[in-house]
Amino acid sequence: MKQYFFTLLLLLGFGLMSCSSISVRTDYDRDVSFTKYQTFKWMPNPKKKRGKVPPNSLLDKRIRIAVETEMEAKGYRFIKEGKPDALIAYHVGVQNKVDINRYGYGYGYWGRRTHVRRYKEGSIIIDVVDPEIKQMVWRGAAQGIVGHPDGDPEKIQEAIFKIFEKYPPS
């Protein structure tokens, strides 16, 4: 009996460790052959600065390093000069969220409890753009709870790793 209980506890622990608070979605142009993309470069920043991550900030640097690392791990080559096969862009956003839970039973105030939790949910979107046709051909997005304004380096790496698990599409 003790051994059964210990095994159950161990399996539950592994199950909880594998759960992630980051959700990922991807979409792509089904008419595009992704085998033609061998090199990539960052898309130039648009002139409008509203809602953008400041260039050379900690968050910008962390995102760029994580994306470059994942792309290079998949065999793509980052180039600074020349014409790339693909352009990469990213977008980030943060929203304030409220989670309300009511529990208990009873009449009126007695016996009922309400728990309110406020948190920030961040999202990061990675776009792959074909410079020849000037269109986005792939998009990956991750959402999760944000703890630090400049982004937790481990959480950024995890989110981008999870996004690129689905690139290139098969």
**103-112 tens-digit pLDDT:** 776 666 666 7
Are the CB atoms for 31 and 123 separated by under 8 Å?
Answer: no
Q: Is the pLDDT of residue 18 over 50?
A: no
Question: Lowest mean pLDDT: which of 24-28, 76-80, 155-159?
Answer: 155-159
Given the DSSP bridges, would you call strands 86-104 and 112-130 parallel, antiparallel or unpaired? antiparallel
Could you tell me which residue, 72 or 21, shows the higher pLDDT? 72
Q: Is the pLDDT of residue 6 over 50?
A: no
Full-prediction pTM beyond 0.85?
no
- Say what the pLDDT of residue 14 is: 32
Q: What strands lie across the sheet with 112-130, from one edge to the other?
A: 23-28, 135-146, 112-130, 86-104, 39-42, 77-78
Please measure the distance between the N-terminal and C-terminal CA atoms of the chain and give it in whole angstroms: 46
Question: CATH assignment of 22-164?
Answer: 3.30.160.670
State the amino acid at position 165 in one-letter form. Answer: E
